[in-house]
Amino acid sequence: MEADAGGMGVVGGLISLVFIVLMIASMWKIFTKAGQPGWAAIIPIYNFIVMLKIVGKPWWWIIGMLIPFLNFIVLILVMVNMAKVFGKGVGFAIGLILLGFIFLPILAFGDATYTAPPEAA
């Protein structure tokens, strides 16, 4: 009985590893499409700062990610702006928010092209 549980742990671990590698590869590709270094995708906190730069938001928005409940709003706004800078609409933004594990690879490996956000006045 214990051998079966251990086997599921290995399978679950492999599935998790594949999922993590897919998400890192997707973020790496998105960063390079936007003219940023791909390796930034694997550096915690810095990767979000780079994402803020890609969507045209100030770096201090990262403070919003540290505040409970406000972090959800910040993340939603970042994903909506991420969809915009890659020429996608509101439906795609909702997909990024709710099903990021599907829509991030679509954004990364699809034909979406990056358009820099307008400079803030």
Per-residue pLDDT of the chain (121 residues; tens, 9 = 90+): 455 555 668 888 899 999 999 999 999 999 999 999 999 999 999 999 999 999 999 999 999 999 999 999 999 999 999 999 999 999 999 999 999 999 999 999 999 999 988 765 3
- DSSP codes, 22-63: HHHHHHHHHHHHTTS-GGGGGSTTHHHHHHHHHHT--GGGGG
Which pLDDT score, from 0 to 100, does residue 7 have? 61
Contact 103, 90 (CB under 8 A): no
pTM higher than 0.75 for the full model? Answer: yes
User: What gap in Å lies between CA 51 and CA 31, rounded to an integer?
Assistant: 8
Which pLDDT score, from 0 to 100, does residue 6 have? 55
Q: Could you tell me the CA-to-CA distances from 58 to 10, 22, 53, 70, 74 in Å, in that order?
A: 42, 28, 7, 16, 12
Which pLDDT score, from 0 to 100, does residue 80 have? 96
Q: Is 116 left (phi over 0), alpha (psi -120 to 50) or beta?
A: beta
CA atoms within 13 A on the CB side of 75: 14
Which pLDDT score, from 0 to 100, does residue 121 have? 37
List, in order, residues 6 or more apart from 105 with CB less than 8 Å away.
22, 25, 26
